[in-house]
Amino acid sequence: MTKVGEGRRADAGVTNAGHSPSVPGAERTQLVAAFLVAVATPIVIVGAALALLLTPAWIGFEQERSGVPALTGFPPDQVRRVTGSIVSDLVAGPPSFAVAVGGQPVLDASERSHMADVRGVLVAFGAGVAIALAALLVLVVPNRHRPWAWRSVSRGAAALALAVVGLGAWVVVSFDTAFLAFHLVAFPEGNFSFDPRTERLVQLFPEQFWSDSAIAMGVLLLTASIATAAIAERVARRRPRPDRVDPSFLPVADPIANQR
């Protein structure tokens, strides 16, 4: 009996030893995954909203609304051609920005240099969006039946909504200051100040274009983030509640427990 009791205690010790490191490890793994999902969600939402504002439909609409043909002296068809070339170089490359009208380059050297910097920022952000989207596919899709995955999506989207409200209030109160602050952070070299009387870049994309686009971006982000947060939270509530730690995150099963 003593040997049997000792054997059982030994088995229990092995079982506890097997589970003790596994459960905390699984908790940490699940927490890291949830954090990554919550961070990736707003990045993907921002990327999707930005992609909509880079479409010819939005740019053409806003340029017409901002009176770009009158500012540049170009007819509307020429404005669309020049703008299309600049946006194509910005998004797809190569970043030459060498579009010309009447044999003369539309943008001068400093404007082309600034647009090359803008492309660098856009490419870096695009890479971040791609990584964030991949993270969501890897972490959420396989765990789509588990509440923690959808709740993490909801929390990330809700955090974005709060950030949009805060930044939106700042932009509404002081657009010029917010616009300058963004450029100082994104372009620390300072090559973003142009004369609207003589330089085409700010004639093609005047202040009204940017203020209206900022409002549109805010509306898109707020709508998408609130909708995403609400839908994801609703899905999470419909999923069955597992134990505190999802069994799929346990790295090693206990062979002794399985034999029993």
Rounded distance between C-alpha atoms, residue 145 and residue 190, angstroms: 49
Kindly tell me if the per-residue pLDDT of 245 is higher than 90: no
Residue 153: band (very low, low, confident or very high) from pLDDT cuts 50, 70, 90? very high
Instruction: Give the bridge partners for 104, in sequence order.
Output: 101
* Mean pLDDT within 218-245: 86
Instruction: Show the tokens assigned to 22.
Output: 């596994």
Where do the structural domains in the chain lie, given as residue ranges? 27-71+124-248
Confidence of residue 241 (pLDDT cuts 50, 70, 90): low
Return d(Cα 133, Cα 49) in angstroms, integer: 14
For the packed helices 2-53 and 207-238, what is the interaxial angle rounded to 10 degrees? 150
CA distances from 222 to 38, 139, 157, 176 (A): 16, 24, 9, 21
Residue 210 has pLDDT above 70, yes or no: yes
Q: Pull the structure tokens for residue 103.
A: 């044999």
Interior angle at CA 253, CA 248 and CA 256, nearest 5:
155
Q: How confident is the model at residue 168 (pLDDT cuts 50, 70, 90)?
A: confident
**Is residue 259 scored above 50 in pLDDT?**
no
The mean-pLDDT minimum among 21-30, 121-130, 203-212, 249-258 falls in 249-258
pLDDT at 52: 96
Arithmetic mean of pLDDT over the chain: 84
Distance in angstroms (rounded) separating the CA atoms of residues 51 and 41: 16
Using one digit for the tens of pLDDT, what is the confidence trace for 122-138?
A: 999 999 999 999 999 99
- How is residue 157 written in tokens? 């989207």
Distance CA 43, CA 131 (A): 9
pLDDT recorded at residue 189: 67
What SS3 class is residue 105?
strand
pLDDT > 70? residue 7: no
pLDDT value of position 16:
45
